[in-house]
Structure 1
Amino acid sequence: MHSSIFRKYDINCNIFQEEIYTLGQAFAYYFTRYSDSVKTVIIGRDNCKNSAFIEQELSRALTDTGLNVIILGACTNPIIHFSLNILPVQASLMITSSSTQLNNSNIIKIYLNKELVWGKEIELISNIFYNQKIYKSFIKGSEKHHSMVERYIDWLAHKFNYLQDFNQKININCSSDIPQNIVSDLFQKIKLNTIKIASETDQDNLQSIDYNVDLNLSLKNSCKRLIVHADNSIIDSDKLIAIYSKDIINKNPNTTIIYDTECSLFLDELITNLKANYKRVNNSTIDITDEMKSLNSPFAADSTGQFYFQDNYFGYSDALYSALRLMDILYKNQKNLEYLLLELPHFYNIPEIKIDCNSKDIADKLIENTYRFFAAKTDITLSKNNGIQAILPYGNAKLKSLNNSIISIKCESKTLEGLEKVKNDFINIFRDHIDSKILTSNINQLNKLN
């Protein structure tokens, strides 16, 4: 087995089937030797190939080492978090699939005391696995099968039962049959009849979205990300963050809203004008949730569509809960989403432009050129945190590396004139490497350097 299966935030199960049990033994050793509190572990999974087998083997390994196991069966990632907050358990394993892997292999996420195990702790589990350390117990643990789906649905239905009077038509696209069944059962229990539920629609395939409704929602990434569609496009997460923030701040004056460095500058202005505070952090679940707990913030979000509510919830990203909170805002205000969007400060922007530099050397040179160009300007705030961000008197410029050879550019401004200036800044920086025609307002695709 190659050590690369142990990644920063999860474990890629691209291994032999007989090694799954050994991996389960490594989990058991980690839980028992490095946390005295772990007595019971919950295991959840998706419906992908091999997930049920992996669930079975992990449970066998854990119970053989004296730990008790509760098997949740097929569920979404948010149900794992819900269970960790509701049940008297101390750890969890979630088996899902990696959409970024060419072989679509299974991955395992590990949670200890409600927190994601990552980084050095994953390295520790790797060392335990390769050194074949086994925790020996003379007592076998118990195994119980206990789905939390119905309890999760009942909890949400109780919180949002008033939405039975919500009269806007909604289309919800689900990533698989698991969230699709959950959504169907939930809205039947709420007795809301204006919902149409469909299997997943590729978020880029906008032609297949039903626009004859008031609200188009997609639940993505094992129900962690919420994507909202309108007018043949995807609504920027920034705008949804703004709508949620206005509602949260109204209930929690002078609070702090947390979002990542990729989000639009108009959020800073909006939240400041609402007499609240904001904090930008790196775009990672760990950084966002850690800062959220540190500041006791009621709400945090990222630019990919993950929304974290501590206001009346448990502080993890749950696309279905986020959808219900959006419906709640529309219901309370008796307005549709289009109207709420019109109330937001208006910023012009160029959609993200991705540029394939063909080599890491060229990409690094362009990044360095960008930093030097903006550093030479006056009256500017320049940051190298998670890429380069330049806050200029006339707009905002962002550049970051996506991988070895691909970089991305974003431009925004309050005015069209300012947007043109930011765009021209990038044209001047890349003059010797890129055709200026790709820096137009309608391009959102990979482009090759000359």
Structure 2
Amino acid sequence: VYISYMCEHFKTLKNFSYPFVVDCANGAAGVVIETLIKELQLKAHILFKEPDGNFPNHSPDPTEVENLKPLQDFLKENGNCHLGFAFDGDADRLVVLSQNHIFCGDELCYLFAKNINNPRVLGEVKCSKNLFDEVSKFGTIFMGKTGHSNIKQMMREKNIDLAAEVSGHIFFKDKYFGYDDGIYALFRTLELAYKGYDLESMINSLPKLYATPEIKIAVEEKFKFILVNEFKKAIEKGALKDVKSLCEIDGVRIDFGYGWALLRASNTSPFLIMRFEARSEEEVKNLKNMVNSLFEDINKKFMLRGL
């Protein structure tokens, strides 16, 4: 049923002679992706299609750059191949590569939004400033909490067409069912190429920003929300200079004008998550040092109090 639905949904792509490569990472994508490509008569090369829970070729996490090496090598060796697609184990996340760029979830969200009339878009708190600034020029965009259940709830409440996490979860309500399906996102990406979108040029035309990946800080589960709250209170008391505003949707996202910093508690693990973005690598480094220094001071005081 799924294969029939997808072939009908994307029938305009049939015989699209656009070379691309797919890395199934020995995960769930391999069950259907070859059949879909054959049915639509697409020009694709498939890597690691056999499902194998031991993941013999690489870990099935496409957000880790080392796991993208087989795709990057294939693209380098096959200059006529335009895009690479990487799935995670259960195929609900997608990362896209060109010859020169790795498209994160928030970048893909921006590209997909450009192909929706008057889109209503949701980005989680880790998403780039560019996503919020640029989509607001042609649609409506909201910032929300990280996490599958949080995103689905807000999609219902705000009548959202498209939502995304940086990690590659893309939720389509536009023309689809409102959940994160990496295989569906792959074909929506091919649809952009079919319509003549130059994905890399579109991203390169955005303001140049520099961001860190997620930075995980191990903490005891019972302390993680308390530490975030202590950090927020310190900021409200003026512990950091040049703060323009605070967003408390999910942890603390601090806007400094030239960049932002995030501290939030993981929904599923005993970690705090930090992320930083700014106009230059130097500004990112300064933000990181400033926020880390404050957090370490709070953490030391917290532990000394014996809580």
Q: TM-score range by the shorter chain?
A: 0.7 to 0.9
Which of 410-419 and 255-264 deviates more? 410-419
- The 3-state SS of whatever aligns with 2:212 is strand
- Larger relative contact order (Cα-Cα within 8 Å, sequence gap ≥ 6): 2
Q: 1:268 to 1:394 in 2, by over 3 A?
A: same
- Give the Cα separation in 2 of the matches to 1:181 and 1:366: 42
* Contact 1:223/1:320 (<8 A) preserved: yes
Q: 1:278 to 1:318 in 2, by over 3 A?
A: same
- Give the Cα separation in 2 of the matches to 1:366 and 1:294: 27
Q: TM-score when scaled to structure 1?
A: 0.55
* Contact 1:394/1:419 (<8 A) preserved: no
* Contact 2:224/2:272 (<8 A) preserved: no
- Which runs of 5 or more structure 1 residues have no equivalent in the other structure? 1-150, 435-450
- The 3-state SS of whatever aligns with 1:223 is coil
- Alignment RMSD: 3.1
Residue deviations 1:353-387, cap 9 Å, x none?
22335897699557624641365156521133322
Q: How does 1:189-204 map to 2 (within 5 A)?
A: 189-199=39-49, 201-202=58-59, 203=62, 204=64
Residue deviations 1:45-71, cap 9 Å, x none?
xxxxxxxxxxxxxxxxxxxxxxxxxxx
- The 3-state SS of whatever aligns with 2:85 is strand
- Give the Cα separation in 2 of the matches to 1:245 and 1:386: 23
Determine the structure 2 residue equivalent to 1:173: 23
Larger radius of gyration: 1
Q: 1:243 deviation in Å?
A: 0.8
Determine the structure 2 residue equivalent to 1:310: 173
Displaced runs of 4 or more, over 6 A: none
Q: 1:388 deviation in Å?
A: 1.6
Q: 1:218 deviation in Å?
A: 2.0
Q: How does 1:359-438 map to 2 (within 5 A)?
A: 365=227, 368-369=230-231, 371-373=233-235, 375-376=237-238, 377=241, 380-402=244-266, 406-416=271-281, 418-430=283-295
Q: TM-score when scaled to structure 2?
A: 0.77
Q: 1:211 to 1:370 in 2, by over 3 A?
A: farther
Pairs aligned (count): 278
Q: 1:208 to 1:232 in 2, by over 3 A?
A: farther
Q: 1:165 to 1:428 in 2, by over 3 A?
A: same
* Contact 1:157/1:190 (<8 A) preserved: yes
* Contact 2:27/2:88 (<8 A) preserved: no
Is the aligned partner of 1:247 residue 2:115? Answer: yes
- Give the Cα separation in 2 of the matches to 1:389 and 1:191: 46
Is the aligned partner of 1:186 residue 2:36? Answer: yes
Residue deviations 1:249-275, cap 9 Å, x none?
xxx22x42112222122211011222x
Q: 1:387 to 1:239 in 2, by over 3 A?
A: same
Q: 1:329 deviation in Å?
A: 0.5
- Give the Cα separation in 2 of the matches to 1:430 and 1:340: 37
Q: 1:239 to 1:375 in 2, by over 3 A?
A: farther
Residue deviations 1:121-143, cap 9 Å, x none?
xxxxxxxxxxxxxxxxxxxxxxx
Residue deviations 1:73-132, cap 9 Å, x none?
xxxxxxxxxxxxxxxxxxxxxxxxxxxxxxxxxxxxxxxxxxxxxxxxxxxxxxxxxxxx
Q: 1:258 to 1:172 in 2, by over 3 A?
A: same
- Give the Cα separation in 1 of the matches to 2:130 and 2:197: 25
Determine the structure 2 residue equivalent to 1:344: 206
- The 3-state SS of whatever aligns with 1:333 is coil
- Give the Cα separation in 1 of the matches to 2:255 and 2:162: 25
Determine the structure 2 residue equivalent to 1:116: none
Opposite residue 167 of structure 2, the aligned amino acid is T
Percent identity between matched residues is 24
Q: How does 1:317-336 map to 2 (within 5 A)?
A: 317-333=180-196, 335=198
